[in-house]
């Protein structure tokens, strides 16, 4: 057993000694997370994680005072900075610190570990020495009366939970318990998606309870669940009475009732979260797996934006639903977000970031003279890749995207069985029945269909391995040591392989992928009042109520595909780029009319346009010049000349067409 495995196992045993308590049985949940470092990335995931460590995550504190001085209690100047370093930095810097500490221990990167410790240890020490019982330890507890400070604590709470899980340092747990025993959880807002809410402290509170067993924390959560405001919120969501609002706040707040379900056992609470997420996706869902948000919900359209914060927040909410309910569909959504939306806002070396991504990006379109209402262009409305990416929330929050996925690729069932949740190349080091276990996953998934897992317990041991079966895969295959296994997924979408495992055992998964053409129609922007006389949305397109242009997009397995537009720079397309094509493949023709071309994946991987999977698709080239007010043709295309176009995974592109105009053939009229 090598040093890395022994170190990981010792951390797991320390973590387990604090989390497996009698009080744990009082919560309803399906799976337990493993600490940062239990899952190590390999292959393309390791390349991406190392790029983040050498890019934004590793040096963000050198780029601006918000990340250099945040959570120090010092006065400094910056946008949104209030006296004593409060205001925006308590949110923005905590985002970064949460991603930093997770990635540091996932990579076992001593430089990042020391940087995380140098920033988080003073917070821990400050809490333990203070009388304020607040994450913002340099201020009296009354600072939490400010809704933004209260909200900011939730993100530092997540960072400290990860720090304790990675180290087992009791000082950290003591600080978490001190804060959350009597933490003042505010009522959810009557219109909850227009203002951040400290109610999202619930997820670090629940983890703190699981790790400590402190009954006062559970009482605090229960008291919040029993409030009339909470009951009213659940009723509204179950009856589709919730208004559209800020997309980041939506993704953060959406999980609150589901979190409370773990304490109350009231299924209506979990169902309220599910209903809300489904209804918003029906109204605002975009092909990369997230709802639109500019920053507020923006309907469905080829030029509707997705704020980078939502990639982190959306994935985190679906992770909690997976952990609570154990349904494979939530892991499907985690993959959908990470594989498709995740890489696009980063430069390929992870040194630059864009505030927004958009399904169809043919130019840098954030400053069109004819597209924005006078005086309404916000400073953060940008697709430009830069060192800070616009307003600093996204450049902080983006640091969570990669480590949150890697950390939760494996979890454990309540009986300790290892369960593969989301897939990619990685190595798991854990224990089962007290026996050190390593499972090495070798794959280029999602760029290939096969996954090989080498199961290596320290000694022959009888246990179960859980495997999620992706919802998009119609005929998954499983073999052990070369022998096919008859599989029957349970009602949650998992297959369980129970046997006596030995060092040489190998599991092979095959997830056959199919091409799909998905059709839809653009929709008008919702009306979201920002003040009595104006809609929140800043674009002239938002004044149109007659938007219904048809579109189609193409997927292959879990991957969204796009027509790549060559780049002169990340912020300028090639001068001769062409994108004036309509898709000419009907949904029922996808399998027979779309050609899949494979090639070896490049190493190291950096999301090149020269992708390992390409799709050759029938199209029609026609006279199309998208404008801000008419981004898509209003009707199916009936003219143009036949063409073949080659699509690559959306995640490899910076300029692209993803939501295509369609021909009358696609609509079924030819």
298-318 average pLDDT score: 97
Model confidence band, residue 188 (pLDDT cutoffs 50, 70, 90) = confident
Model confidence band, residue 5 (pLDDT cutoffs 50, 70, 90) = very low
Q: Is residue 471 over pLDDT 60?
A: yes
In percent, the amount of the chain with pLDDT more than 90 equals: 85
Distance CA 34, CA 415 (A): 14
How many Cα atoms sit within 13 Å of 502 on the Cβ side?
A: 2
User: What is the three-class DSSP state of 426?
Assistant: strand
**Rounded to an integer, what is the distance from CA 60 to the centroid of its chain?**
20
Q: What integer pLDDT is reported at residue 372 of this predicted model?
A: 54
pLDDT, averaged across the chain: 92
Q: What integer pLDDT is reported at residue 6 of this predicted model?
A: 45
Beta-bridge mates of residue 432: 435
Model confidence band, residue 24 (pLDDT cutoffs 50, 70, 90) = low
Distance CA 521, CA 612 (A): 30
Q: Is residue 540 over pLDDT 90?
A: no
pLDDT top residue among 539 and 443: 443
Model confidence band, residue 68 (pLDDT cutoffs 50, 70, 90) = very high
pLDDT top residue among 451 and 368: 451
pLDDT top residue among 191 and 100: 100
Are 317 and 539 contacting, i.e. CB atoms less than 8 angstroms apart? no
Q: Is residue 75 over pLDDT 70?
A: yes
Q: Is residue 303 over pLDDT 80?
A: yes
Model confidence band, residue 459 (pLDDT cutoffs 50, 70, 90) = very high
Q: What integer pLDDT is reported at residue 373 of this predicted model?
A: 52
Distance CA 257, CA 268 (A): 9
Beta-bridge mates of residue 556: 515, 559
Distance CA 548, CA 327 (A): 34
Which class for 482: exposed (0-12), middle (13-18), buried (19 or more C-beta within 10 A)?
exposed
pLDDT 10s digits, 619-631: 999 999 888 899 9
504-515 average pLDDT score: 97
Distance CA 391, CA 225 (A): 34
pLDDT 10s digits, 640-664: 999 999 999 999 999 999 999 999 9
Tokens of 512: 């056959």
Question: Which range has the worst mean pLDDT, 37-51, 319-333, 569-583?
Answer: 569-583
Of 25, 36, 32, nearest in space to 428 by CA: 36
Contact residues for 438 (Cβ-Cβ < 8 A; gap 6+): 5, 427, 428, 429, 456
pLDDT 10s digits, 370-397: 455 544 444 445 789 999 998 899 999 9
Tokens of 95: 């985002």
- Which phi and psi (to 5°) does residue 324 adopt? -80, -55
Q: Is residue 267 over pLDDT 60?
A: yes
334-340 average pLDDT score: 98
Q: What integer pLDDT is reported at residue 628 of this predicted model?
A: 86
pLDDT 10s digits, 600-624: 999 999 999 999 999 999 999 999 9
Instruction: Write down all domains in the chain, each with its CATH number in brackets.
Output: 415-510 (2.60.40.1180), 515-667 (no CATH)
Q: What integer pLDDT is reported at residue 8 of this predicted model?
A: 45
Q: Is residue 10 over pLDDT 80?
A: no
Contact residues for 110 (Cβ-Cβ < 8 A; gap 6+): none
Are 173 and 221 contacting, i.e. CB atoms less than 8 angstroms apart? no
Q: Is residue 561 over pLDDT 90?
A: yes
Q: Is residue 17 over pLDDT 70?
A: no
Are 632 and 522 contacting, i.e. CB atoms less than 8 angstroms apart? yes
Alpha helices in 83-201 (DSSP H): 88-107, 110-129, 147-167, 170-180
Query: Please, what's the b/e burial string for 399-434 (b: 16 or more CB within 10 A of its CB; e: otherwise)?
Result: bbbbbbbbbbbbbbbeebbbbbbbbbbbbbbbbbee
Model confidence band, residue 669 (pLDDT cutoffs 50, 70, 90) = low
Are 594 and 515 contacting, i.e. CB atoms less than 8 angstroms apart? yes
pLDDT 10s digits, 201-212: 999 999 999 999
Are 632 and 655 contacting, i.e. CB atoms less than 8 angstroms apart? no
- The single-letter DSSP state of residue 137 is T
Model confidence band, residue 490 (pLDDT cutoffs 50, 70, 90) = very high
Q: What integer pLDDT is reported at residue 7 of this predicted model?
A: 45
Distance CA 121, CA 577 (A): 51
DSSP code string of 292-314: -BSSB---S-TT--EETHHHHHH
Are 535 and 526 contacting, i.e. CB atoms less than 8 angstroms apart? no
For 489, other C-beta atoms within 10 Å of its C-beta total 15
For 162, other C-beta atoms within 10 Å of its C-beta total 32
- Which phi and psi (to 5°) does residue 429 adopt? -120, 115
50-68 average pLDDT score: 97
Q: What integer pLDDT is reported at residue 532 of this predicted model?
A: 57
Q: What integer pLDDT is reported at residue 668 of this predicted model?
A: 78
Q: Is residue 637 over pLDDT 90?
A: yes
Model confidence band, residue 2 (pLDDT cutoffs 50, 70, 90) = very low
Q: Is residue 557 over pLDDT 80?
A: yes
């Amino acid at each position: 057993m090598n040093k890395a495995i022994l170190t990981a196992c010792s951390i797991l045993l320390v973590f387990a000694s604090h989390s497996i308590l009698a009080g744990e049985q009082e919560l309803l949940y399906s799976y337990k997370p493993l600490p940062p470092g239990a899952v190590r990335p390999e292959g393309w995931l390791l390349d991406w994680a190392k790029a983040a460590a050498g890019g934004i995550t590793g040096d963000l504190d050198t780029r601006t005072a918000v990340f250099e001085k945040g959570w120090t209690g010092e006065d400094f100047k910056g946008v949104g900075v209030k006296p004593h370093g409060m205001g925006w930095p308590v949110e923005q810097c905590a985002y970064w610190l949460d991603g930093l500490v997770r990635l540091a221990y996932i990579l076992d990167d001593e430089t990042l570990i020391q940087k995380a410790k140098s920033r988080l240890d003073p917070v821990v020490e400050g809490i333990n020495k203070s009388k304020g019982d607040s994450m913002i330890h340099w201020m009296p507890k009354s600072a939490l009366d400010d809704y933004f400070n209260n909200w900011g604590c939730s993100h530092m709470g997540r960072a400290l939970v990860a720090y304790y899980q990675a180290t087992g340092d009791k000082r950290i747990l003591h600080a978490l318990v001190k804060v959350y025993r009597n933490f003042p959880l505010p009522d959810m807002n009557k219109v909850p998606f227009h203002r951040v809410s400290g109610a999202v402290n619930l997820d670090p509170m629940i983890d703190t309870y699981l790790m400590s067993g402190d009954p006062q924390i559970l009482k605090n959560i229960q008291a919040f669940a029993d409030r009339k405001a909470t009951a009213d919120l659940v009723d509204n969501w179950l009856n589709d009475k919730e208004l559209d609002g800020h997309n980041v706040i939506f993704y953060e707040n959406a999980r609150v009732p589901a979190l409370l379900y773990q304490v109350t056992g009231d299924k209506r609470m979990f169902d309220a979260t599910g209903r809300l997420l489904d209804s918003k996706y029906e109204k605002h869902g975009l092909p990369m797996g997230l709802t639109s948000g500019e920053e507020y919900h923006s309907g469905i359209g080829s030029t509707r934006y997705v704020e980078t914060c939502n990639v982190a927040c959306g994935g985190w909410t679906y992770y909690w639903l997976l952990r609570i309910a154990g349904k494979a569909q939530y892991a499907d959504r985690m993959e959908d977000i990470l594989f498709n939306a995740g890489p696009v806002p980063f430069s390929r070396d992870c040194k630059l970031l864009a505030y927004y991504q958009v399904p169809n990006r043919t130019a840098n379109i954030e400053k069109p003279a004819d597209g924005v209402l006078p005086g309404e262009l916000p400073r953060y409305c940008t697709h430009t890749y830069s060192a800070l990416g616009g307003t600093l929330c996204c450049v902080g929050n983006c640091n969570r995207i990669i480590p949150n996925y890697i950390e939760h690729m494996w979890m454990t069932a309540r009986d300790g069985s290892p369960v593969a949740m989301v897939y990619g190349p990685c190595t798991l080091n854990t224990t089962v029945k007290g026996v050190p276990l390593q499972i090495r996953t070798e794959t280029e998934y999602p760029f290939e269909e096969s996954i090989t897992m080498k199961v290596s317990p320290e000694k022959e041991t009888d246990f179960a391995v859980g495997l999620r079966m992706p919802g998009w895969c119609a005929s998954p295959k499983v073999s052990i040591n070369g022998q096919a296994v008859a599989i029957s997924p349970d009602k949650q979408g998992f297959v369980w392989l129970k046997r006596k495992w030995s060092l040489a055992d190998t599991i092979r998964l095959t997830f056959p992928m199919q091409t799909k053409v998905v059709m839809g129609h653009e929709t008008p922007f919702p009306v979201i009042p920002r003040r009595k006389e104006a809609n929140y949305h800043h674009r002239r397109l938002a004044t149109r109520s007659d938007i219904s242009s048809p579109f189609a997009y193409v997927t292959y397995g879990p991957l969204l595909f796009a027509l790549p537009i060559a780049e002169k720079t990340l912020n300028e397309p090639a001068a001769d780029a062409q994108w004036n094509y309509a898709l000419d493949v009907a949904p029922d023709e996808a399998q027979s009319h779309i050609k899949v071309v494979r090639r070896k994946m490049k190493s190291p991987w950096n999301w090149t346009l020269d992708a390992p999977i390409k799709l050759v698709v029938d199209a029609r080239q026609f006279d199309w010049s998208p404008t801000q007010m008419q981004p898509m043709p209003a009707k199916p295309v009936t003219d143009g000349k036949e063409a073949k176009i080659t699509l690559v995974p959306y995640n490899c592109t910076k300029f692209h067409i993803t939501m295509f105009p369609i021909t009358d053939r696609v609509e079924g009229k030819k």
